[in-house]
Structure 1
Amino acid sequence: MNRFSVPRHYAAMQPLVALHQSIKTAGRLEPALIELVLMRVSQINGCAYCLDMHSKDARAAGETEQRLYVLPAWRETKLFSEREQIALAWAEELTELASHDAVSDALYERARQQFEEAELVDLTLLVVAINGFNRINVAARTIGGTYKPGMH
């Protein structure tokens, strides 16, 4: 049962919603990469609502079920490009900051080889946004399972 509801049109949510939308519409990051990052961070944070949403949006955008199935073990498969692997590592390190001091220099160097500066900023802000949405939905105990692709 939901503790409380935070609708996307709630005024205080608008900056977070706008941040998320501006990254998706900027066109600097591939839609498939965006959905993979959103899924992976939501897996780490245990956000059922976001997992429901982003798995459906990813599938609607053409993502394969196989890649979604193995996403938690992306390091042990060859299904993801080097760019996707770096983006997933970046997302994980930013999401799990409590377990280390900062994003490693080695990962930053790899990321700079695959991403232009604006792309890396967008990737970082995407991770910030989904972590925010995850925390709101986990706190509210928002129920997953009812999302339809394109609802938000």
Structure 2
Amino acid sequence: MPPTSPTNLTNLSKQHPAVYEQLSAFSAAAEEAAADAGIGAKLVELIKIRVSQLNGCAFCTRLHSRDAVKLGETNDRLAVLPAWWESQYFSDIEAAALGLAEEVTRLSVPQRTEWDTGALNPAQISAVSWLALVMGAWNRVAIRSGYRVAP
């Protein structure tokens, strides 16, 4: 059974819009760094989706899944994303980026090296890390603000 929703949720963007705008600027900078590092828009969305899945953010998972589909992402790849490492759907770069994003999201001590296959260069490692960090912040805003997802 899913946890019950707290009754004391506050829309963070409405309470402190200036802070929300700064997070938006941070997000844009992370996406720009990703583009500069050669990380394509579809992979950016996959990273956002996977981080959102790990953080349990239905709002962001749905939002970025829809964005990924608009960019040409397939339903098959989205369906296996929670177990991406068991599939053959993802390229070496995608697998490395997803593994790194999971490591950053889970706040593990950087001991896991499954993602570190050499597929990502230092700029890409940094960009994926920033994308995961900013997506985690967005997940927390959505969850704490009580953004609900309905059909």
TM-score by length of 1: 0.82
CA distance in 2, matches of 1:90, 1:69: 20
Within the candidate set 31, 43, 57, 1:24 is matched to 31
Opposite residue 28 of structure 2, the aligned amino acid is Q
Size of the aligned set, in residue pairs, is: 141
- Which structure ranks higher in relative contact order (CA pairs < 8 Å, sequence separation ≥ 6)? 1
CA distance in 2, matches of 1:96, 1:47: 14
Alignment gaps of 5+ in structure 1: 147-152
State the 4+ residue runs in structure 1 displaced beyond 4 angstroms.
none
Superposed CA offset, 1:26-68 (max 9, x none): 4221111111110001001110110111001000111001100
Opposite residue 118 of structure 1, the aligned amino acid is A
Contact 1:49/1:145 (CA < 8 Å) preserved in 2?
A: no
TM-score by length of 2: 0.83
Cα pair distance change 1:83/1:108, threshold 3 Å: closer
Contact 1:52/1:145 (CA < 8 Å) preserved in 2?
A: no
Measured after TM superposition, the shift of residue 123 of structure 1 is: 0.9
Matched-pair identity in %: 33
Opposite residue 128 of structure 1, the aligned amino acid is L
2:11 corresponds to: 5
Matches within 5 A, 1:1-152: 3-7=9-13, 10-26=17-33, 27=35, 28=37, 29-97=39-107, 100=108, 102-104=109-111, 106-107=113-114, 109-110=116-117, 113-145=118-150
